[in-house]
Chains A and B, each alone.
Chain A
Amino acid sequence: MIDALIVAALLAMMAAIAVAIVRQRNLFGVIVLFGAYSFIMATTLAALDAPDVAMTEAAVGAGISTVLMLGALHLVKTMEAKPAEGAIGPLVVVILVGVLVAYGTLGLPSFSDPQSPIHRHVAPRYLEEGLKETGVPNIVTAVLASYRGYDTLGETTVVFTAGIGVIALLRRRRRQEPGK
């Protein structure tokens, strides 16, 4: 009960910050609010007993991305430009998509239902045999690095590809081409 209250309060704060982000025209303020949003997201994940994800969210979402966005802000104007068109069309699209997403969630099993299919497929085996097979008490690490090693290899390759893409786009050329 108290857990649900804490999570609900945190989610309400996140919604309030999201509204503030939309209303804020100063991009520096927006970035600071993004950082606050990520920190509350991390707190929510910690409250939901997911410390591994909370740690990632705090470090990547609130830490590194804030610095990267500040670095990007250094290159552009600090005030958001006035939108070229009215807000009615986008508002209709957003409300429609929101209603559709909310309708879609009705088909999901209820939150943390132990009988939902995702918890009855391979998860019980991981939980029961994980410590015996891998000797690693943190089941998250065991699943991530061992049982789902292929997925993590793919994930690391995605990070690698993202890095290579940014290097290819932003790296300064060593030689100036003649005639340019």
Chain B
Amino acid sequence: MNDIVLRVVGKLLIPFAVLFALYVQFHGDFGPGGGFQAGVIVAAAVVFYALIYGLAEARRVVPDRVVEAMVALGVLLYAGVGVAGIVLGGNYLDYFVLHANPVEGQHRGIFWVEAGVAITVSGVMLKIFYLFAGRGRDEPPVP
């Protein structure tokens, strides 16, 4: 789309959308929000970018390789927190052992778990959007 209004408004709003996602992510302990919501907002910001500047441009900024890695990385990070609990002498997904102070350990566990959720959710949402939006452009129409 070559609409100057959309381009300018998009350029102004997208950084704030990403910033809001970070706020939702890291303030999720105190206010509403958390990994899932933050991941979706990040994905929505990139979708917004793709709608205004075109899919090819969005794929250049956030390449498929990165998105596909994020899909798996988040789950691995989440599962890794669980394994860290075992290694440090607790049960799977036991956060109390992650720090000498149990409450601090809980904080640490929740932080990394939420980070994993955000990474996987934003990766999956973006990948699905890329695949849907990229279809049918250079393929022959289905009869």
A72, A134, A140, A145, most chain B CB atoms within 10 A: A145
Q: What's the count of A-B pairs with C-beta under 8 Å?
A: 138
B59 to chain A, nearest CB (A): 13
CB-based contact B40/A138 at 8 Å: no
Min Cβ gap B129→A in Å is: 6
Interface residues of B in 81-139 (CB under 8 A from A): 82, 93, 95, 102-104, 106-107, 109-110, 113-114, 116-117, 120-121, 123-125, 127-129, 131-133, 135-136
Interchain CB contact under 8 A, A170 and B135 = yes
Interface residues contributed by chain B, number (CB under 8 Å): 52
Whether A59 contacts B106 by the Cβ 8 Å rule is no
Is B110 touching A145 in the complex (CB atoms < 8 A)? yes
Are B110 and A134 closer than 8 Å at their CB atoms? yes
Number of residues on chain A facing chain B (CB within 8 A): 43
Take A55-B32, A64-B43, A138-B28 as given contacts and tell me if A153 and B79 are in contact as well, using a CB distance cutoff of 8 Å. Answer: yes
The reply to whether the CB of B22 lies closer than 8 angstroms to some CB of chain A is: no
A160 pairs with B132, CB closer than 8 A: no
The answer to whether B78 and A153 have CB atoms under 8 Å apart is yes
A55: chain B residues at CB < 8 Å are 24, 32-33, 37
Given A71-B133, A145-B114, A153-B82, A159-B103 contact (CB < 8 Å):
no
Q: In the complex where A59-B44, A72-B132, A74-B136 touch, is A138 in contact with B31 (Cβ < 8 A)?
A: yes
Instruction: Please tell me if the beta carbons of A134 and B30 are within 8 angstroms of each other in the complex.
Output: no
Taking CB atoms and an 8 Å cut-off, the chain A residues in 56-91 that contact chain B are 56, 59-60, 63-64, 67-68, 71-72, 74-75
10 contacts between A and B (CB under 8 A): A56-B37, A135-B103, A138-B31, A141-B34, A149-B93, A152-B78, A152-B117, A153-B82, A160-B71, A166-B128
Task: Rank and list the top 8 A-B pairs by shortest CB-CB distance, nearest first.
Answer: A163-B124, A51-B32, A71-B132, A59-B40, A170-B131, A135-B103, A134-B106, A145-B110
Q: Which residues of B contact A (CB under 8 A)?
A: 24, 28-37, 40-41, 43-44, 47, 51, 68, 71-72, 74-75, 78-79, 82, 93, 95, 102-104, 106-107, 109-110, 113-114, 116-117, 120-121, 123-125, 127-129, 131-133, 135-136, 142
